[in-house]
Amino acid sequence: MRHALTCALLLAAAHAAAQNKSPDKPIVLKAARMFDGHRVSAPGRVVVAGGKITAVGESAAAPADAETIELGDATLLPGFIDAHTHLSGQASDDWKQGQLDALKLTVPEQSFRSVEWLRKTLEGGFTTVRDLGSNDFIDVGQRNAIAERRLVGPRMLISVNAIGVTGGHCDPQGFRYQARGMREAGIDEGIGNGPVELRAAVRFAVKYGADVIKVCATGGVLSLHDDVDTSQLTQAELDAVIDEAHSLKRKAAAHAHGAEGAKRAIRAGVDSIEHGSFLDDEALDLMKARGVWLVPTLSALACVTDRIQRHTDLPPAIVAKARAAGQRVADTFKRALAKHVKIALGTDAAVCPHGHNAEELRRMVELGMPPLAALEAATSSAAALLGRADLGALEPGKTADVVAVPGDPLKDIRATEHVSFVMKDGVIYKR
């Protein structure tokens, strides 16, 4: 039975992927307006051939053999980018059941569950994600299968393991000693202590396919045995992690709610601070001066807060940390905006259900970010953070990632939550 189910799932995934082949002829997309990654213009017109954008704008010439797709009163945009996801899992509404599933589900079962999440993310308009922490190399399989068109999902940049110290936010917590095996977590699970072991953890992640290195510089909300704002790595340890990442030509992202841990990561040369709930003015000024990105993940705290209000299955320690971070995150985001810190969209999807990533744009706008800046955060700014100059804009020569939303998102940013058309690499996945 299990073998038959496995075969059925694989065949279903392969069939879905097979339906989305590269078109044989050029495509012209037409809509009332277009956001090119920086500004809005009208009308919207994008010409695509061979997986690339070949022309844009009202005067763009359409090849004689092109197929024209009229999208009406809609806005064309670059495919959205989520700079912080976890597509190998999704939070359960039942805390204890979620913990049990993490122990009992086999790796293939966990992988098969993610097939739906990958599809929902892409159909929500997010054609690229930076996935910041997985387990058992699930993210490696996802990225490679999507790239080979064996699975339908967003383009993925992956971190393999999030890296941290023993007992820290990135070290699995809450289970009895040896419940997960005959030894404590080691570098093959991203855990090390001291500069030498942490450098080895970076090398291990890169060896097995990491595109980016993710390090847990402070405590977190959803871990049991640490304070959310405390530093977890010394300056020397963070220096080692980030130096090793950059030496191997990988960018580094630091999970950091607390100000001191974030400042250590910034001084070490980190590329982005994830969450940043308790950042003080000194940390924000350092980020501005050094060009460090903030990925605020407003959705994650909003979803945890909503869960607390709906029912109380979460452990008291997590509830207390979520409330403490929730009281600070809005003020921190507003100060980051005022100081012109670079901001890229990230949701921490998995904490929130996959496929709802675009709600982050609305949350940023509600806290004072202009709608145009929010659209940039989800496209051109996120592409800059990822180091992907081929993405994030509707310009000739860019990869043909194009989405469409009804109406004008500058007038109603929630239009981004109703994506009606999705193209990735010139292939149409939603129409």
List of domains in the chain: 2-78+393-430 (2.30.40.10), 80-386 (3.20.20.140)
Mean pLDDT of the chain: 92
pLDDT recorded at residue 333: 98
pLDDT recorded at residue 5: 39
pLDDT tens per residue across span 269-307:
999 999 999 999 999 999 999 999 999 999 999 999 998
Q: What percent of the chain has pLDDT over 90?
A: 79
pLDDT tens per residue across span 32-52:
999 999 999 999 999 999 999
Q: What mean pLDDT is predicted for residues 84-95?
A: 91
pTM as predicted:
0.93
| 27-31 and 44-49 strand pairing | antiparallel
Higher pLDDT, 62 or 163: 163
pLDDT recorded at residue 176: 64
- Do 66 and 47 contact (CB within 8 A), yes or no? yes
Annotate 213-251 with b (16+ C-beta within 10 A) or e (fewer).
bbbbbbbbbbbeebbbbebbbeeebbbbbbbbbbeeebb
d(C-alpha 343, C-alpha 378), whole Å: 9
pLDDT tens per residue across span 208-255:
999 999 999 999 998 888 899 999 999 999 999 999 999 999 999 999
Beta bridge pairs of residue 403: 77, 422
For residue 262 the two structure tokens come to: 């974030």
pLDDT recorded at residue 1: 38
